[in-house]
Amino acid sequence: MGKKSLAFFMTFWGKAPRRGLVLTAILLLAALLLQTAGCTSQKGPPSLEEQAQALDKSLICPVCPGETLDQSRAELANQMRAIIREKLAQGETPESIRQFFVDRYGPSVLAAPPRQGFQLTVWLVPPVAVAVGGLLLVMVLRHLRRIPQAEQPVSSEEALQPYLAMVDKEMEEQIERPSGAQEDE
Radius of gyration over every alpha carbon of the chain, rounded to an integer in angstroms: 36
Q: What is the pLDDT of residues 98-143, one digit of tens each?
A: 999 999 998 889 888 777 777 778 778 888 899 999 999 999 988 8
Question: 105 and 52 in one domain?
Answer: yes
pTM to 2 decimals? Answer: 0.46
Inside any domain, residue 180: no
Question: Residue 63 burial (CB < 10 Å; 0-12/13-18/19+)?
Answer: exposed
Q: What is the pLDDT of residues 53-64, one digit of tens each?
A: 999 999 999 998
Domain final residue pick, 87, 109, 131:
109
Distance (Å, rounded) from C-alpha 52 to C-alpha 46?
10
Distance CA 182, CA 150 (A): 41
Whether 81 maps to a domain, the answer reads yes
